[in-house]
């Protein structure tokens, strides 16, 4: 089959209108997925793309076909293969002198690495792409590439928390698109810039400006897409902040409809988080819990995908075609060296991060021991300190204070020793996280009575039953936060539920009483572990 027939077949398979052939050539086939239609039959399209690669006679055509395959794998959600194909294309760039395609390959790689969480690598390709774009002769293509690449720089600055720098790059992006604003295919890219501005000002808590940009983006989007889903989610988020529950529900339902039918884990995570907040705000705890589970599932999937890519090995490199023997040994060697270097860099930072985490955990555990000894020296809290949901029976569970000798008539020394052993076993498990926990519940579990139990806890644990169980719960969740980073991404309400508290507020009160920090402030403290070699100044949240 001739090369021209293969091109025609691909255009037919990917549902590109026939009239477009007059306006766009092979270049337009490889445009980024967010601006073109996603192929309905990706496997067939991939076979055709491989055929195009096999028939390519010059390096430039190979670059185009490799980037086309990468784009298709992106649409299918297979990011490892997408990046491998794009890296193959990048390794051929030194054989061509084409600023446009140098820019396109770098822009694509910048986007993919951003999506899998490798932001510094994304920035490297973004800067290479911007430099190459300056040498593109076609004004429309130059404007398009500069617009997209400056969007990527805005994403990077947002990730760093440099919001005003991000605004600067988005304005450059809009200015670039505006130079050719008669071209309709730029509408979605321009809308994406406005959506990003909406996100930035939302984070800056300027909700009026944020909504104005979201509205601009909404007016430019005629069909359902990920960007429109993010716009509706942003508008819903603004209404949540304003406690306008009715309008928030309308926007969040629209966003959920798009998230459920989308492959974007980023969109799902954002939408489910806001819907959880909506039901928390309206007092529907059952539905709030359902969306908390959805949020956690999306978060875990996103984390798993990013971690899976971070350890990509050279042997997993996707091959364009089994029959393809025309890729030179030099190119294959370059790819392997590149991926081994990437693996080495990731491994180095993992080891460094592990050492930092170990050092930081030692600091935290020392702090916890100091807090524990300090709290044991304080007077036992009174019943008015109602900061958990434990429904302790109305018994005198402070009967045996630290200065009071054991009442021999209350129990034998053997019974007291046995109860202490049972309490030690109880502390090793996680039964204390049970929401039904009470003095009578625990007494039944330990096969004793409430007076014996409250006496032993007061005498040997220097606390009443409430304080004792609360300490166990908070130490349990602190250990989770230290050992498993994903717990730091969970909402405070999810952490509260995890260790048996009935509400966010009760959990927060107990947490601060035990650690002297609010949960959110403590999590920020833990997240500062990568700066543990510096003098970290910790500011308590109000």
Residue 31: per-residue pLDDT: 43
Does 373 fall in a domain?
no
pLDDT tens for each residue of 42-85: 777 788 778 878 888 898 888 888 888 888 888 777 888 889 98
Rounded to the nearest angstrom, the gap between the alpha carbon of residue 430 and the centroid of all alpha carbons in its chain is: 28
What is the mean predicted confidence (pLDDT) over 443-447?
87
Residue 178: per-residue pLDDT: 76
| Chain position carrying tokens 């008015």 | 384
From CA 318, how far away is CA 78, in angstroms rounded? 11
Q: Which residue has the higher pLDDT, 440 or 302?
A: 440
Does 441 fall in a domain?
yes
In the predicted structure, residue 538 carries a pLDDT above the cut 90? no
- DSSP letters, 96-158, are ---HHHHHHHHHHHHHHHHHTT-HHHHHHHHHHHHHHHTT---HHHHHHHHHHHHHHHHHHHH
Rounded to the nearest angstrom, the gap between the alpha carbon of residue 104 and the centroid of all alpha carbons in its chain is: 27
Q: Which residue has the higher pLDDT, 194 or 261?
A: 194
Q: Which residue has the higher pLDDT, 357 or 479?
A: 479
Query: Exposed, middle or buried by CB within 10 Å (0-12, 13-18, 19+), for 491?
Result: middle
Question: How many CB atoms lie under 10 A from the CB of residue 182?
Answer: 6
From CA 319, how far away is CA 406, in angstroms rounded? 77
HSE on the CB side for 163, CA within 13 Å? Answer: 12
Residue 382: per-residue pLDDT: 35
pLDDT tens for each residue of 239-250: 999 999 999 899
In the predicted structure, residue 530 carries a pLDDT above the cut 60? no
In the predicted structure, residue 145 carries a pLDDT above the cut 70? yes
What is the mean predicted confidence (pLDDT) over 154-164?
89
From CA 271, how far away is CA 277, in angstroms rounded? 10
Number of domains in the chain: 1
Could you give phi then psi for residue 84, rounded to 5 degrees? -60, -45
Query: Residue 231 is encoded by which pair of tokens?
Result: 């716009």
Residue 342: per-residue pLDDT: 73
**What CATH number should be reported for the domain holding residue 511?**
1.10.10.60
Does 423 fall in a domain?
yes
Residue 250: per-residue pLDDT: 92
Q: Which residue has the higher pLDDT, 331 or 193?
A: 193
Does 255 fall in a domain?
no
HSE on the CB side for 418, CA within 13 Å? Answer: 9
Residue 306: per-residue pLDDT: 64
- Of 38, 49, 46, 43, the closest CA to residue 15 belongs to 38
| CA separation, residue 468 to residues 366, 369, 376, 432 (Å) | 20, 15, 10, 10
Query: Residue 56 is encoded by which pair of tokens?
Result: 């390519």
Classified as helix, coil or strand, 175 is: helix
Does 32 fall in a domain?
no
Residue 308: per-residue pLDDT: 59
From CA 222, how far away is CA 56, in angstroms rounded? 37
Q: pLDDT band for 473, please (50, 70, 90 cuts).
A: very high
In the predicted structure, residue 127 carries a pLDDT above the cut 90? yes
Percent of the chain with pLDDT over 70: 70
Residue 184: per-residue pLDDT: 53
Which of 206-210, 394-398, 437-441 has the weakest average pLDDT? 394-398
CA-based radius of gyration for the chain? 29
Q: Residue 489's domain spans which residues?
A: 413-535
Does 477 fall in a domain?
yes
Query: Exposed, middle or buried by CB within 10 Å (0-12, 13-18, 19+), for 394?
Result: exposed
Does 527 fall in a domain?
yes
In the predicted structure, residue 313 carries a pLDDT above the cut 60? no
In the predicted structure, residue 310 carries a pLDDT above the cut 70? no
Q: Which residue has the higher pLDDT, 535 or 304?
A: 304
Does 516 fall in a domain?
yes
């Amino acid at each position: 089959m001739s090369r021209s027939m293969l091109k025609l077949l691909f255009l037919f398979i990917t549902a590109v209108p026939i009239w477009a052939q007059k306006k766009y050539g092979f270049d337009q086939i490889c445009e980024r997925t967010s601006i073109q239609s996603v192929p309905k039959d990706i496997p067939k399209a991939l076979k055709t793309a491989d055929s195009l690669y096999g028939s390519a006679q010059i390096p430039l055509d190979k670059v185009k076909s490799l980037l086309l395959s990468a784009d298709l794998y992106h649409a299918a959600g297979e990011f490892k293969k997408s990046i491998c194909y794009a890296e193959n294309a990048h390794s051929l760039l030194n054989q061509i002198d084409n600023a446009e395609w140098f820019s396109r390959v770098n822009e694509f790689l910048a986007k993919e690495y951003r999506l899998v969480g490798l932001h510094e690598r994304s920035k490297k390709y973004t800067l290479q792409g911007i430099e190459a774009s300056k040498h593109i002769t076609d004004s429309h293509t130059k404007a398009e590439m500069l617009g997209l690449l400056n969007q990527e720089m805005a994403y990077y600055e947002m990730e760093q928390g440099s919001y005003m720098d991000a605004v600067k790059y988005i304005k450059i992006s809009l200015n670039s698109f505006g130079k050719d604003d008669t071209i309709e295919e730029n509408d979605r890219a321009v809308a994406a810039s406005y959506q990003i501005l909406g996100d930035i000002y939302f984070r800056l808590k300027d909700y009026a400006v944020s909504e104005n940009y979201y509205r601009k983006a909404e007016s430019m989007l005629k069909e359902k897409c990920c960007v429109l889903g993010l716009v509706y989610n942003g508008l819903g988020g603004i209404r949540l902040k304003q406690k306008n529950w009715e309008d928030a529900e309308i926007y969040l339902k629209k966003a959920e409809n798009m998230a459920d039918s989308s492959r974007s884990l980023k969109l799902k995570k954002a939408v489910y988080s806001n819907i959880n907040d909506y039901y928390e705000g309206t007092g529907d705890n059952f539905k709030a819990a359902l969306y908390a589970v959805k949020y956690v599932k999306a978060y875990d999937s996103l984390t798993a995908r990013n971690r899976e890519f971070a350890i990509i090995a050279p042997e997993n490199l996707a091959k364009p075609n089994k029959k393809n023997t025309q890729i030179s040994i030099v190119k294959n060697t370059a790819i392997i060296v590149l991926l081994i270097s990437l693996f080495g860099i990731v491994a180095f930072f993992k080891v460094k991060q592990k050492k930092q985490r170990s050092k930081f955990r030692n600091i935290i555990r020392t702090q916890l021991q100091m807090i524990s000894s300090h709290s044991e020296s304080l007077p036992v809290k009174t019943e008015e300190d109602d900061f958990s949901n434990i429904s302790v029976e109305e018994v005198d569970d402070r009967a045996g204070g630290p200065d009071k000798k054991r009442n021999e008539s209350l129990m034998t020394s053997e019974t007291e020793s046995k109860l202490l052993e049972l309490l030690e076993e109880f502390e090793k498990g996680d039964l204390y996280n049970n929401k039904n926990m009470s003095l009578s519940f625990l007494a039944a579990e330990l096969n004793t009575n409430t007076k014996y139990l409250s006496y032993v806890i007061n005498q040997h644990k220097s606390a009443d039953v409430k304080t004792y169980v609360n300490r166990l719960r908070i130490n349990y969740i602190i250990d989770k936060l230290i050992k498993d980073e994903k717990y730091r991404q969970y909402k405070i309400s999810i952490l509260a539920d995890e260790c048996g508290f009935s509400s966010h507020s009760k959990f927060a009160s107990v947490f601060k009483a035990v650690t002297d920090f609010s949960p959110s402030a403590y999590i920020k403290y833990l997240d500062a572990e990568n700066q543990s070699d510096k003098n970290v100044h910790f500011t308590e949240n109000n």
